[in-house]
Structure formats: C-alpha cells, structure tokens
Amino acid sequence: MGCGIAEVCVASGLDVILSDVSANSLERGLEKVHAGIERQVSKGKISSTDAKSASAHLWGSITFDDFVACDMVIEAATEDVEIKERIIRELDKVVKAGALIASNTSSVSITALATKMSNPGRFIGMHFFNPVPVMSLVEIIRGIETTDATYEATMALATRVGKTPISVKNSPGFAVNRILIPMINEAIFVLQEGLASAPEIDAGMQLGANHPVGPLALADLIGLDTTLAIMEVLYRDFNDSKYRPAPLLREMVDAGRLGRKTGTGFHSY
Ligand SMILES: NC(=O)c1ccc[n+]([C@@H]2O[C@H](COP(=O)([O-])OP(=O)(O)OC[C@H]3O[C@@H](n4cnc5c(N)ncnc54)[C@H](O)[C@@H]3O)[C@@H](O)[C@H]2O)c1
C-alpha cells in the first residue's frame, strides 16, 4: 500500500520519501514504485518525460530522521497496532512542528493512535484502497482531537493526488471495510462449509451480484493476514460475535498462505 501511495503522490508532482524496515525491503519498494510509474507510461496515461520527472521526486530512507522536512507523513506499515504506535511515537519526535501524520490503517481507531502524538490534533486517518493507483476512493477519518486545519489539508491532499475523499467517523473498520471485510469473511465460511468451491463462490458474486472481483480473490489481493487483522479489530472493538473471523481464514494465515503476496491463497498466482 505504501508503494501505491508513493506512486500516486510522485505522479502528482509531490516530493516523496519512501521508508521501510530494511534496505532490502526499501529497495524492493522503490523498484515497485518506479515500475508502477513505467506502467502508467505503457498505458498511455502519462508521457515518458513526465514519468522521468516524477521518478526524480522519489527518495528512499530507512531512517525516520529524513522526514524532518516533510509536511505530511503517511504511515502504511503492517496492520498491527503495536507497530503503528511505535512508528507514530518515533515520527512525532522527528517531524517539524506543524507537520501532519496520517495512518492508512484499515481498522484501528484513529483517536487511539493519535494519543501517541504530542499534539493529537495533527493526526488523521487517510485510508486508501488497493491497488492505490487504480482505486479512486480515500476515506478520511477524524479522531476526536483532529483539528479542522488537519482535516482540510488532508482532504485537499487526497484531491491533489487524484482521489475522491469521503469523510467517515472514527469507528472500527470505518465505513467501507465494516461492510466489505465481513462479506469476505462470510465467503470464507461458505468455502469452509463446502457449499461451493473458491472459483464458484467468486464467479457467483461476480455474475450474481455484479462484483468486479470475487470475495476470495479480493481477500488474496488484500492479503489474508491483513483481512484477519481487520476482522480481529472488528470482533474485539465491537465485542460482537457476528464479526468472528472464519477459522479457515486463521488457518490459511497460520500456514503462510497470505494470497498474492506469497503466491498462494484461495487461488494460486
Ligand atoms: N492490503 C490492502 O488491501 C489494504 C488496503 C487499504 C489499507 N491497507 C492498510 O495499509 C497498511 C499496509 O498494508 P499492506 O497490505 O501494504 O501490508 P504489508 O504487510 O503487505 O506491507 C507492510 C509494509 O510495512 C513495512 N513495515 C513493517 N513495519 C515497519 C516499520 N516499523 N517501519 C517501516 N515499515 C514497516 C513492511 O516491511 C512492509 O513493507 C495496513 O495498515 C493495512 O491495513 C491495506
């Protein structure tokens, strides 16, 4: 997700620093962003001159110290609340006064994450969709302390990078994933109960509900680990059994079958 967000930001003329946990993963990430920009050229969406100038606005760093000059940092690390809290605390120490910090979390409370900042008013949720260069939506989620200035600057940024923002109240899973991820989880229950095969379930929802992608193929795209993490947040934070993750989803994650990113999920890649 971080690569996709970086790609749409550089393509809009913004200076971007991409970060990751190690030099190797950062290198892979930078390659992915450059490849994404090249793809836009081959699709005829941007000229090769624009692609060159966009690529020149992209840097990589494995230390947060390089974020000192940034106006905004968008956190898009693994969907794990402890990792996110640690990153936000570290970023808060290095960014300039007045810089905004956003999280691309799919489910975690923005109000809770904001408490890791010295000034929670500068924190907001900016939830992009996968694949970022293709999907137009961004959910903008205000925490209880998010200021109007932070909200307005984030709405403006979403528009600047070519997205359509919608404003959603802070609540587990926000709006779209509250609807989408339990639907995917139910499709996994249907598979687990042997009601139909994975290709049939996906074909059923494509042909019968006019979904562009079937729910199991979509889970593979999102990542089964991320899907499980979102269901766990919904289950825990609403304290409602209707959000219990399907045991088969947990088993797939335990087996390391995480979808497209590992080559195997409900389908093979
Ligand atoms: N996958 C989706 O479809 C999707 C859609 C919308 C939002 N999101 C959200 O975006 C975020 C990332 O999702 P993803 O699917 O890209 O996850 P991922 O697990 O595929 O990638 C996470 C990246 O974060 C890096 N990372 C982990 N710890 C880090 C740290 N301490 N510092 C810097 N980088 C670190 C990892 O090395 C990896 O490159 C999550 O919060 C997720 O909920 C995901």
For the beta sheet containing 72-75, the strands, ordered from the edge strand earlier in sequence to the opposite edge, are: 72-75, 100-103, 123-128, 137-142, 164-169
Residue 55 domain-assigned? yes
Of the residues 23, 46, 62, which one is the last residue of a structural domain?
Answer: 62
Number of domains in the chain: 3
Atom of ligand 1 nearest to the CA of 22: 37
pLDDT digits (tens, 9 = 90+) for 244-269: 999 999 999 999 999 999 999 999 99
pLDDT digits (tens, 9 = 90+) for 37-50: 999 899 988 889 98
Amino acid at 145: E
pLDDT digits (tens, 9 = 90+) for 153-170: 999 999 999 999 999 999
Q: Specify the 3-state DSSP secondary structure of 112.
A: helix
Residue 268 domain-assigned? no
Instruction: Evaluate: CB of 223 within 6 angstroms of ligand 1.
Output: yes
Residue 74, beta-bridge partner list:
102
pLDDT digits (tens, 9 = 90+) for 11-39: 999 999 999 999 999 999 999 999 999 99
63 CB neighbour count, 10 Å cutoff:
9
Residue 179 to residues 9, 43, 167, Cα–Cα distance (Å) = 28, 32, 16
> Ligand 1 centroid to 196 CA: how many Å?
31
Q: Are residues 232 and 257 in the same domain?
A: yes
> Ligand 1 centroid to 151 CA: how many Å?
23
Q: Are residues 129 and 41 in the same domain?
A: no
> Residue for token digits 């970023």?
91
User: What does the alpha-carbon distance between residue 251 and residue 24 come to, in Å, rounded to a whole number?
Assistant: 29
Q: Are residues 158 and 130 in the same domain?
A: yes
| Residues 9/50, Cβ–Cβ less than 8 Å | no
> Ligand 1 centroid to 125 CA: how many Å?
14
Of the residues 127, 146, 170, which one is the last residue of a structural domain?
Answer: 170
Instruction: Evaluate: CB of 72 within 6 angstroms of ligand 1.
Output: no
Residue 54 domain-assigned? yes
Q: Are residues 154 and 74 in the same domain?
A: yes
Residue 269 domain-assigned? no
Structure tokens at 11: 């393509």
Which active-site residues does the annotation give? Answer: 106, 127, 139, 177
Structure tokens at 12: 């809009």
> Ligand 1 centroid to 56 CA: how many Å?
24
Nearest-Å Rg of the Cα atoms of the chain is 19
Instruction: Evaluate: CB of 1 within 6 angstroms of ligand 1.
Output: yes
Per-residue H/E/C for 135-171: CCEEEEEECCCCCHHHHHHHHHHHHHCCCEEEEEECC
Of the residues 62, 87, 110, which one is the last residue of a structural domain?
Answer: 62
pLDDT digits (tens, 9 = 90+) for 167-217: 999 999 999 999 999 999 999 999 999 999 999 999 999 999 999 999 999
pLDDT digits (tens, 9 = 90+) for 53-105: 999 999 999 999 999 999 999 999 999 999 999 999 999 999 999 999 999 99
Residue 210 maps to which CATH number? 1.10.1040.10
pLDDT digits (tens, 9 = 90+) for 114-144: 999 999 999 999 999 999 999 999 999 999 9
Q: Are residues 120 and 205 in the same domain?
A: no
pLDDT at 25: 97
Q: Are residues 193 and 245 in the same domain?
A: yes
Residue numbers of the domain that contains 90: 67-170
Residue 161 maps to which CATH number? 3.40.50.720
